[in-house]
Amino acid sequence: MNFSHSDSSKAEKQTCRDDESSQNEASERVRDAELVKRCQAGDYSAFDELINLYRGKVYAMIYNMIRNDADSWDLSQDVFIKAWKALPKFEGRSAFFTWLYRIAHNVTYDWSRKKKISSSGEFEDYMVDQVDPGGLTNPKGVDSPDSELEREEVRGKITKAINSLSTDHKEVVLLKEVEGMSYQEIADSVGCSTGTVMSRLFYARKKLKEILGDIQND
């Protein structure tokens, strides 16, 4: 099999991106570990830093599940209150955000059960990237009016496709495709085995591919 110079260049660039991503993740884990250690020693300012780092992502994940702005902010606050209370027991066996999302998962599911609703709505994966981590208001998109109109038809199809997924399937798709978590991290976050995660992703992706195949072929 022959490879062109272009293929080699692309592979090198991808390797560089992967290496940079790994370095960033390692740096974030060290930073978070230091902040958690300070929190466990009673340093409230360290916890404020963690809130500023992650409240936007927590909000975006919850909003993608329940599709309600006010309730999402309220639940995000509950998540951090529970996290502060639970921090003395955090041992650092997983990344801080994996542990934090586990709390968010439980808070959101408990709220959903009490409300007797299931999550629905459009899969807005761009929200996590555009949210201001320190922002106090709902994240806003930055698409131009023309771009928004061009995407409207596709959005409608994606909305229907994502609405057809169960809550469990939607959640693993969000964690894998948006957050970029590993199978083990997702399993730790949602409280199931890696095999279950892989199974849910397989069936979710299969269903989405069946529904959205016409979009991919356009």
Q: Is residue 1 part of a domain?
A: no
73 in a domain, yes or no?
Answer: yes
Q: Hey, is 83 helix, strand or coil?
A: helix
- Answer whether residue 151 is part of any domain: yes
2 falls within a domain? no
Q: Report the CATH number that the domain containing residue 171 is assigned in CATH.
A: 1.10.1740.10
Confirm whether 3 is domain-assigned. no
Domain for residue 93, yes or no? yes
Region of residue 67 (left: phi > 0; alpha: psi -120 to 50; beta: else): left
Burial pattern 119-141, b for ≥16 Cβ within 10 A else e, equals: beebbbeebbeebeeeeeeebee
For residue range 148-190, list pLDDT tens digits in order: 666 677 777 777 777 678 888 888 888 888 788 888 888 888 8
Rounded CA separation 177/200 (Å): 13
Position with higher pLDDT, 189 vs 23 = 189
> Is residue 127 in a domain?
yes
Give the number of domains in the chain.
Answer: 1
Residue 109 CA to residue 15 CA, distance in Å, equals: 38
193: which residues sit within 8 A by CB, 6+ positions away?
A: 187
Distance from C-alpha of 175 to C-alpha of 186, rounded to nearest angstrom = 7
> 87-98: per-residue pLDDT in tens?
999 998 888 999
- Indicate the pTM of the whole model: 0.61
**Range of the structural domain that residue 59 is part of:** 8-216
Closest by alpha carbon to 44, among 73, 87, 75? 87
What residues contact 101, with CB distance under 8 A and at least 6 apart?
58, 61, 175, 179, 189
Instruction: Classify residue 134: in a domain, yes or no.
Output: yes
Half-sphere exposure of 116 (CA within 13 A, CB side): 0
What span, in angstroms and rounded, lies between the C-alpha atoms of 172 and 179?
A: 10
| Mean pLDDT computed over every residue of the chain | 77
Closest CA to 162 of 118, 201, 123, 203: 123
